[in-house]
Amino acid sequence: MSAPNLDLKTLDVRVVQAYIDRGIITRAQYEAYLESLPDDEANGVKTDTRMSHINLRTSVFTDD
């Protein structure tokens, strides 16, 4: 199978497994794409994130 024109829509993380299962792309093509992405770690900013959880049955917020 020749490589299809791979674009971001084709490789969307939400549908990539379905495309692999259907033979639209191969796991190797997807992994090669991931390896080709630039490493932007140096552009990141450290954050202090606090996660909260709401129990929909009781509508009570709790800190995780």
Per-residue pLDDT for 15 more than 70? yes
| 30, part of any domain | yes
Strands (DSSP E) found in the chain = 52-55, 60-63
Under the banding of pLDDT at 50, 70 and 90, the label for residue 37 is confident
Cα–Cα distance for residue pair 63/41, rounded to 1 Å: 28
Cα–Cα distance for residue pair 24/38, rounded to 1 Å: 24
| 21, part of any domain | yes
Per-residue pLDDT for 63 more than 70? no
Per the structure, the count of domains in the chain is 1
Q: What confidence score (pLDDT) does residue 21 get?
A: 93
| 9, part of any domain | yes
| 49, part of any domain | no
| 3, part of any domain | yes
pTM above 0.75, yes or no: no
Q: Which domain holds residue 16?
A: 1-38
